[in-house]
Structure 1
Amino acid sequence: MTLNFKKIAGLFMGALAAFTICTSVSASKTKIADVSQYQGNINWSKASKDLKYAIIRVQHGDTGDADFRIDSKRNINASGAKKYGVPFGQYGYAEFSSVADAKKEAKDFYNRSNTSARFYVLDNEHRKGKGSEQSYVNAWLSQMRKLTNKPLIYYSYDNYVAVHKINYSKFDGSWIANYSKKPTASADLWQYTSKGRVSGISGNVDLSKAINSSVVDSWFKATSADTAKPTYYTSVPANQTITTTRHIYEYKDANFKSRITKLASGKSLPVKAITRSNSGAYRFQLTNGNFVTANKAFVSD
Structure 2
Amino acid sequence: MSTHLWAKRLAQVAVAASALIGIAWGGQTVANASTLAIPDISEWQGKLTASQVSNLKSQVSFVINRRQYGSSYQDLYAANNTALYVKYGIPFGEYDYARFTSAASAKQEAKDFYNRSNKNAQFYVLDFEENDVTSGTTNAAVKAWYDEMSALTNKKLVFYSYQSFATNYANTARQSFDAQWIANYSYTPTIAHALWQYTDHNYLAALGEYTDNSKAVTSVHPVSWWTDGLTAALTHTTTSYAYSSYKKGQHVYLHKGATKDADGKAIAAADRQKFYKITQVKSVTQSKSQQALYLAGLNRWVLSEDATGYWVGQHGSFNLKKKLYVYSNSSLTKKTGSYYVAGDTVAGKVVKAPSGKSYRIKTKLGYLSANTKYSDHAYYESLGANKVITTKKPIYEYTRSSFKKANRTTRVAKGTTLTVTGIKRRSTGSRYFVLSNGKYVTAQMAYVTE
TM-score, scaled to structure 2: 0.41
Q: Map residues 83-162 of structure 1 onto 2, 5 A cutoff.
A: 83-130=87-134, 131-162=136-167
2:55 to 46, 64, 88: 46
Q: Measured at CA, do residues 89 and 55 of structure 1 come closer, stay the same or move farther in structure 2, by a change above 3 Å? A: same
In 2: Cα distance, 1:89 partner to 1:218 partner: 12
Aligned to 2:323: none
Query: 1:278-289, aligned counterparts within 5 Å?
Result: none
Q: Following the alignment from structure 2 to structure 1, what is the Cα–Cα distance between the partners of residues 220 and 167? A: 25
Q: CA deviation at 1:35?
A: 0.5
C-alpha displacement of 1:178? 0.6
Change (3 A) 1:165 1:147: closer
1:77 is displaced (CA, Å) by 1.1
Instruction: Summarize deviations over 1:133-181 as a string: whole Å, max 9, x none.
Output: 0000000000011100000000010110122252212111110001111
Letter in 1 for 2:120: S
Are 1:29 and 1:48, in contact at CA under 8 Å, matched by a contact in 2? no
- Asked if the contact 2:194/2:220 (under 8 Å) is kept, the reply is no
Tell me how far 1:41 sits from its aligned partner. Answer: 3.2
Q: Are the structure 2 counterparts of residues 222 and 91 from structure 1 closer, same or farther at C-alpha, using a change threshold of 3 Å? A: farther
Q: Which has the higher strand share?
A: 2
Distance in 2 (alpha carbons) for counterparts of 1:206 and 1:199: 14
Flag the 1:160–1:189 CA change in 2: closer, same or farther, 3 A: same
Q: Give the Å deviation of 1:28.
A: 7.1
Matched, 1:207 2:216: no
Cα deviation 1:231-281 (Å, max 9, x = unaligned): xxxxxxxxxxxxxxxxxxxxxxxxxxxxxxxxxxxxxxxxxxxxxxxxxxx
Q: What SS does the aligned partner of 1:197 have? A: strand
For residue 59 of structure 1, give the secondary structure of its aligned residue in structure 2.
Answer: strand
Matched, 1:180 2:189: no
Q: For the Cα contact (< 8 Å) 1:156–1:177, is it kept in 2? A: yes
User: How far apart, in 2, do the equivalents of 1:198 and 1:209 lie?
Assistant: 15
Secondary structure in 1 matching 2:89: coil
1:28–1:49 CA contact under 8 A, matched in 2: no
Q: Name which of 76, 79, 88 aligns with 1:75.
A: 79
Give 2:38's match in structure 1, choosing from 21, 32, 37.
32
Q: 2:56, 2:34 → 1: CA distance? A: 11
Structure 1 residues 140, 214: closer, same or farther in 2, change over 3 A?
same
Whole-angstrom CA distance in 2 between matches of 1:122 and 1:71: 15
Q: Matches of 2:117 and 2:204 in 1, distance apart?
A: 24
Query: Identity over aligned residues, as a percent?
Result: 42
Asked if the contact 2:93–2:125 (Cα under 8 Å) also holds between the matched residues in 1, the reply is: yes
Aligned position for 2:68: 59
Structure 1 ranges of 4+ moved more than 3 A: none
- Summarize the Cα distance change of 1:222–1:59 in structure 2 as closer, same or farther, 3 Å threshold: farther
From 220, 235, 238, the equivalent of 2:227 is: 220
Q: CA deviation at 1:96?
A: 0.7
Matched residue type, 1:137: V
Matched ranges for 1:241-256 at <5 A: none
- Structure 1 CA distance for aligned equivalents of residues 219 and 81 of structure 2: 24
Report if aligned partners of 2:142, 2:170 keep a CA contact under 8 Å in 1.
no
Unmatched runs of 5 consecutive residues or more in structure 1 = 1-26, 64-68, 224-301
Q: Could you tell me how far apart the structure 1 residues matched to 2:176 and 2:218 are?
A: 17
- Look up the equivalent residue of 2:228 and give its one-letter code: K
CA RMSD of aligned residues (A): 1.8
8 Å CA contact 1:49, 1:199 repeated in 2? no
Aligned residue pairs total: 192
Residue 345 of structure 2 is matched in structure 1 by none
1:10-53 CA-partner distances (Å, limit 9, x unpaired): xxxxxxxxxxxxxxxxx977111110111113310111121111
Paired letter, 2:159:
Y
Q: Distance in 1 between matches of 2:74 and 2:170?
A: 29
Q: Which amino acid aligns with 1:46?
A: N
Q: Which has the higher contact order (CA 8 A, sep 6+)?
A: 1
**More deviation, 106-115/180-189:** 180-189
CA distance in 2 between partners of 1:187 and 1:121 (Å): 14
Contact 2:196 2:214 in 1 (8 A): yes
TM-score normalised by the chain length of structure 1: 0.61
Alignment-mate amino acid for residue 200 of structure 1: A
- One-letter identity of the residue aligned with 2:144: A
Q: Is the 8 A contact 1:40 1:202 kept in 2?
A: no
Following superposition, the deviation at residue 222 of structure 1 comes to 7.3
